[in-house]
Amino acid sequence: MFSKVKNYITENTGILIRIDDIAENMNWDIMEKSELLFEKYSIKPVLGIIPNNKDDEFLAYSKKNDFWEKVRDWQDKGWEIAMHGDTHVYDKMCNKNDDYFNYGGGSEFAGHSLDTQMLRIRNGLKKFEDEKIKIRTFFAPNQTYDKNTFIALKNCEINEVLDGYGLMPYAENNIKFIPQLIDKVILLPFGIQSTKLQLNEWSKEDFNSFEQFIKKNADRIITYDQALKKVNNSLIYKLINILSKKILRLKRIGIDKKSEFNV
């Protein structure tokens, strides 16, 4: 009995490395170091690419001219390329109650009409298509979604979202969600989670902490396909997710905001 429980926990515990805000203009120094680290430990991250970046914050970084060739190389290595918005410009404010995940704040999608949201998704997908990059998963800038975002995604044949509540991947309204709960890089004792890494903001110390985390937890780091395989609406998963949702709606886990890392 005890070994069965132990096996169940082991099979259902893992972390997926999701990197946000990858664009032609970014902190390439940290990105290149991270790439070497992933190679060294055979890690296949999910890269959230902004197809038509117009966000001033990122435009301030240096530009990589062969960026799309680089993205194709990453995809050839089996890294998952996700669509992270279209331009990453927030031109709406949405309040907590209108936001599917109850964060609220600046938004590129939530709060806009279905037509506008579809136009933006199509525009982003066109860029990927032109560059011969396959996209099956999406996550929105600033994690803001409304009902129309999910309708627009489905209309554009994207049925996977790398965001969500809960401790386990789940399906809702025919969309598969891989949860991203915690701002810190931390391996929970149970559950399948994704990180949310914003490399552009990292210092050298942040990178060193991340390296320590990878070294320590490499055998618990999963691929996007492994996470997808865990999408399951069994009763036990549902109960786990309902419980974690309730707790998290009360207080989003920020734990100790001083550092993104817990190694």
Binding site for Zn ion (CB under 5 A): 20-21, 141
Q: Of 124 and 141, which has the nearer Cβ to Zn ion?
A: 141
Question: What separation in angstroms does the CA of 189 have from each of 81, 155, 167, 230?
Answer: 27, 37, 10, 16
Task: Please state, in angstroms and rounded to a whole number, the distance separating the CA atoms of residues 241 and 169.
Answer: 9
Question: What separation in angstroms does the CA of 96 have from each of 11, 67, 99, 189?
Answer: 34, 35, 5, 29
Least distance (Å) between residue 110 CB and Zn ion: 14
- CA atoms 230, 231, 232, 233: torsion sign: positive
Q: Of 149 and 241, which has the nearer Cβ to Zn ion?
A: 149
Least distance (Å) between residue 198 CB and Zn ion: 7
Least distance (Å) between residue 141 CB and Zn ion: 4
Encoding tokens for residue 103? 């964060």
Least distance (Å) between residue 104 CB and Zn ion: 16
Least distance (Å) between residue 85 CB and Zn ion: 7
Q: Of 51 and 141, which has the nearer Cβ to Zn ion?
A: 141
Least distance (Å) between residue 88 CB and Zn ion: 6
Q: Of 198 and 208, which has the nearer Cβ to Zn ion?
A: 198
What are the backbone dihedrals phi and psi of residue 196, each rounded to the nearest 5 degrees, phi first? -140, 90
Q: Of 87 and 244, which has the nearer Cβ to Zn ion?
A: 87
Amino acid at 199: L
Q: Give the 3-state secondary structure of residue 18.
A: strand
Q: β-pairing, 221-222 with 18-22?
A: unpaired
Beta-carbon neighbour count of residue 245 at 10 Å? Answer: 16
Q: Of 86 and 146, which has the nearer Cβ to Zn ion?
A: 86
